[in-house]
Amino acid sequence: MSFDLVFFGGTGDLTWRKLMPALFQAFRHGKLPEGGRILAVARDEMPDERYREWLKERFREVEGSKRPSEEEFERFAAQVFYRRMDLSQPEHYQRLKEWLGERQADTVVLYLATSPHLFTQICEQLGAAGLNEPRVRVVLEKPLGHDLASAQQINKVVRSVFSESQAFRIDHYLGKPSVQNLMALRFGNALFEPLWHRESIANIQITLAESLGVGTRGPFYDGTGALRDMVQNHALQLLTMIAMEPPSSNDADAIRDEKLKVLRALKPFTPDSVARDVVRGQYRAGTVDGKAVVGYLDEAKVPADSRTETFVALRTEVQNWRWAGVPFYLRTGKRLAARDAQIVVNFRPVPHPIFPGANRPNQLVIKLQPEDGLELRLQAAKGGAHGEALAPVSLDLDFDKAFAADRVGAYERLLLDAIAGRLNLFVRSDEQEQAWRWVEPILDAWAQDPAGPRTYSAGSWGPPAASALVAREGFSWAEEQ
């Protein structure tokens, strides 16, 4: 299958840090379809060879094992081209159309790796140039909007140019192998699904923690915050995959229909419930990995009076028969104690304990990063004496070891899916808008709250109020157990 893949923003960080290395890995693994061309477009003027040299220099910053050899890069770079393009000029889109028309590839993928405020302009120009025929797909990188109204405006313009089946809204968390295994875990095995309901599960915790600060992203992050950056997309997508009903098939729309039902069933927030069930924080100076780090307000290009949250913890419920009354706790933040993304399913205690001591309930831990796997925590007898207390044991599965030869990165998987036209791991417009609809009351309540975010020390697990949020119902976060 021949394809042309165009990166708008071809000299931007996303392209050289994530997208080009992911494409190279697909090339190295022999999974990139033959007969492909990769075109980077940006404002700078340079010939193909100069862009290839520039990209080669950038590849030196890629993780060692994923860095190409000289010979590998030469073969990969032979597929890479560059064109100068001013995204505001209609004639430049016509030149792009002519370039794409040189050979009429089976598939054309247009990846908008630009600032989101350019999405509507680019899509309108693509439509005006006729670059929206059925073989064309457009990939939209997050964040898709700043609130519900802006998301709806982007979707309105995209729909005026492309059909829904041509629009690939990317959330790179959905490309992670461990996230893909959520579907396999639930719907490919008979073991867990009979227990996947309120009678067996006490609570579910989703943690997306980072030990890094905002770094050079201060201006972007200060206008975004943790709720928009991580909860509205990544955390809610994980919640839908954990809570959804079994789809009728593995078809993209069957899956996305069930995810949308979960989003619509989420308990809506009111000003009172935001005050009670949502904790926002902002990191101050502290210590991470034994090194002193500055607070958020001292980061580069962050306003000294910023009220932007770098941490969010919240409690919600899915109001349906399967999950009625089961708390879902979501937590994300910068400068936390560890880089740790995981989903913890806490099961209810046995109804009638017969062993002495504290019998801890079972847990299923779905590890997303830095490890990638499953851990099932059980209770077992050591066999040392009659009437002994049970001890915790774990069944631990490391996917990287189990499937070492077949693992692919998130962006590698999603780029290959976009080329192949597989929509399963991409977000539909109604999903995206419903997520914004659920998040907006939190943003509105914060805008009226004079108190601002609570502070927490860098290197901690966030404000103490986040622990109190869970302890209120007799639970605790995984690291506190």
Secondary structure E strands in 51-209? 80-84, 107-112, 136-140, 167-169, 201-209
Is the distance from CB of 42 to CB of 75 less than 8 angstroms? no
CA distances from 386 to 242, 326, 359, 393, 407 (A): 40, 37, 16, 19, 46
Count how many Cα atoms sit within 13 Å of the Cα of residue 315 in the half-sphere of its side chain: 20
Query: Tokens in use for 5?
Result: 């893949």
| Active-site hit among 92, 234, 352, 386 | 234
Query: Tokens in use for 437?
Result: 């609809």
Neighbours of 211 (CB within 10 A): 17
Phi/psi of residue 124, nearest 5 degrees: -60, -45
Alpha-carbon span 195 to 359, nearest angstrom: 19
Say which DSSP state 280 is in. E
Phi/psi of residue 202, nearest 5 degrees: -85, -45
Say which DSSP state 287 is in. E
89-110 core/surface letters (b: 16 or more CB in 10 A; e: else): eeebbeebeebbeeeebebbbb
Specify whether 352 is catalytic. Answer: no
Q: Which residues have a catalytic role annotated? A: 234
